[in-house]
Amino acid sequence: MVVRGVPAIAIAAAFSLAVEVANFKDFNGTSEEAASFIELKLEYLVSSRPTAVNLSDAAKKLIEITSNVASTSTMPESVFQAYIEAAEIMLDDDVASNKAIGSYGSRFLWDQQKIVPRFSVLTHCNTGSLATAGYGTALGVIRALHAEGVLERAYCTETRPFNQGSRLTAFELVHDKIPATLIADSAAAALMKESRVSAVIVGADRVAANGDTAYKIGTYSLALCAMHHHIPFYVAAPLTSIDLYLSSGEEIVIEERSAKELLHSQGGLGEQVAASGILVWNPAFDVTPAYLITGIITEKGVITKNNDAFNIKDFVEKAAGKSTA
């Protein structure tokens, strides 16, 4: 959890290896061996986070780039330099992608909420600059709404047990001088009942082909509460978070976190507060089924439902300029 947030994890992994290869003085091997070295290192990094698809997607792209260079050059230095340049481009692309998500999301929400001049949004966990290369996904939408003068207030959950909301999202909102209120996770339903929330926007660690979405534990509960109170529930994520190889959320691997996060204060860093001997179940994520999600905000636009179902594959292919025939 030193690096957390799926886009930031992918960028940090790419740059950690970039630093290593940049410091090679005398690599004793061929260009093919240089590409193999990079591939092995990236595969090891991917094994650290099985739920988040962005990391594996970044690794595949970087492996393909370096393999192509190795096939045309005999110099291992050329392979390493190509890798470093690709990682730098990935950083710039992530910031641009985040800002596009913010722009599309804010315009879409404003179109849906035009009956009121300003409205409030609830978010969960952290999806801002501290979770991405910069700007943010769900928090990026909130930033854009604020910049356009249509955000009444942002509500953020504390996000137990590691408190990403109270430690990180609250910090970013205060830093940007965005009107914001922190709530306990368990207060979300009461907040919605009082009609103080116009929309819920969360991030995503992985989106299956049918729209089922894995994100920080507690997201499923928020989606259920939002549906009960007739509040739209949006997922904001780059297209790299979509995994078309998974037909549904049932196939998403859910990581479990250390029991210490629940047994001890400060997300496992402080004193023990729970009774010794109690068993703990601490999943890092849950899966929100697609029927609870109103729309998926991406850097290419907002994916909405047709006949109560998402056609994500068609959207992704059109975004990539491919034929859907």
Contact 211, 293 (CB under 8 A): yes
Pair (50, 113) in one structural domain: no
Q: Which residues are bridge partners to 199 per DSSP?
A: 121
The confidence band for 264, taking pLDDT boundaries of 50, 70 and 90, is: very high
Using a pLDDT cut of 90, give the percent of the chain over it. Answer: 71
**4 pLDDT more than 70:** no
Q: Domain ends where: 92, 124, 151?
A: 92
Q: Domain ends where: 92, 111, 142?
A: 92
Q: Is residue 163 part of a domain?
A: yes
> Would you state the pLDDT for residue 2?
66
Pair (183, 223) in one structural domain: yes
The active-site residue, picked from 57, 94, 185, 205, is 205
**219 pLDDT more than 50:** yes
CA distance 200 to 221: 12
Pair (224, 310) in one structural domain: yes
> Would you state the pLDDT for residue 322?
57
Q: Which of 138, 176, 135 is nearest to 157 (CA)?
A: 138
Contact 146, 176 (CB under 8 A): yes
Q: Say which CATH number the domain at 125 has.
A: 3.40.50.10470
Pair (126, 212) in one structural domain: yes
Q: Is residue 211 part of a domain?
A: yes
Enumerate the H helices of 73-137 as residue ranges.
76-112
**Which token pair is 286?**
């849950």
**5 pLDDT more than 90:** no
CA distance 294 to 74: 51
Q: Is residue 325 part of a domain?
A: no
Q: How many domains does the chain have?
A: 2
Pair (108, 76) in one structural domain: no
Kindly report, residue by residue over 281-319, the tens digit of the pLDDT.
999 999 999 999 999 999 999 999 999 999 999 999 999
Quote the domain boundaries for residue 300.
Answer: 100-319
> Would you state the pLDDT for residue 325?
35
> Would you state the pLDDT for residue 8?
75
**Which token pair is 41?**
């290192």
Pair (223, 292) in one structural domain: yes
Pair (109, 21) in one structural domain: no
Pair (122, 35) in one structural domain: no
Q: Say which CATH number the domain at 11 has.
A: 1.20.120.420
Q: Is residue 1 part of a domain?
A: no
**51 pLDDT more than 70:** no
Q: Which of 197, 179, 180, 177 is nearest to 189 (CA)?
A: 197
Q: Within 10 A of 151 (CB to CB), how many other CB atoms are there? A: 24
Higher-pLDDT residue of 160 and 51 is 160
Kindly report, residue by residue over 153-197, the tens digit of the pLDDT.
999 999 999 999 999 999 999 999 999 999 999 999 999 999 999
Q: Is residue 217 part of a domain?
A: yes
Higher-pLDDT residue of 179 and 129 is 179
Q: Give the residue carrying structure tokens 């049932």.
A: 250
How large is the C-alpha radius of gyration of the chain? 21
Q: Which residues are bridge partners to 180 per DSSP?
A: 154
Mean pLDDT of 118-125: 96
Pair (116, 169) in one structural domain: yes
> Would you state the pLDDT for residue 52?
61
Mean pLDDT of 216-231: 98
CA distance 8 to 20: 18
Direct distance between the N- and C-terminal alpha carbons of the chain, in angstroms, rounded to an integer: 43
> Would you state the pLDDT for residue 196?
96
One DSSP character per residue, 39-84 reads HHHHHHHHTT-SS-HHHHHHHHHHHHHHHHHHHH-S-HHHHHHHHH
Pair (108, 214) in one structural domain: yes
Contact 135, 102 (CB under 8 A): yes
Q: Is residue 25 part of a domain?
A: yes
Q: Is 57 a catalytic residue?
A: no
Residue 189's H or E segment, with its range, is helix 188-193
> Would you state the pLDDT for residue 324?
39
Could you give the dihedral angle defined by the CA atoms of residues 282, 283, 285 and 286, in that order, rounded to the nearest 10 degrees?
-110
Q: Which of 79, 207, 1 is nearest to 87 (CA)?
A: 79
> Would you state the pLDDT for residue 266?
86
Q: Where are the beta strands (DSSP E) in the chain?
A: 119-123, 151-157, 180-183, 199-202, 206-208, 213-216, 233-236, 242-243, 285-288, 295-298, 301-303, 305-306, 309-310
Beta-carbon contacts of 88 under 8 Å, excluding residues fewer than 6 positions away, are 18
Judged by DSSP in three states, 163 sits in: coil
Average per-residue pLDDT for the chain = 91
Pair (29, 130) in one structural domain: no
> Would you state the pLDDT for residue 287?
98
Pair (148, 87) in one structural domain: no
Q: Domain ends where: 42, 58, 92?
A: 92
Q: Would you mind telling me the total number of residues written for the chain in this entry?
A: 325
Higher-pLDDT residue of 150 and 11 is 150
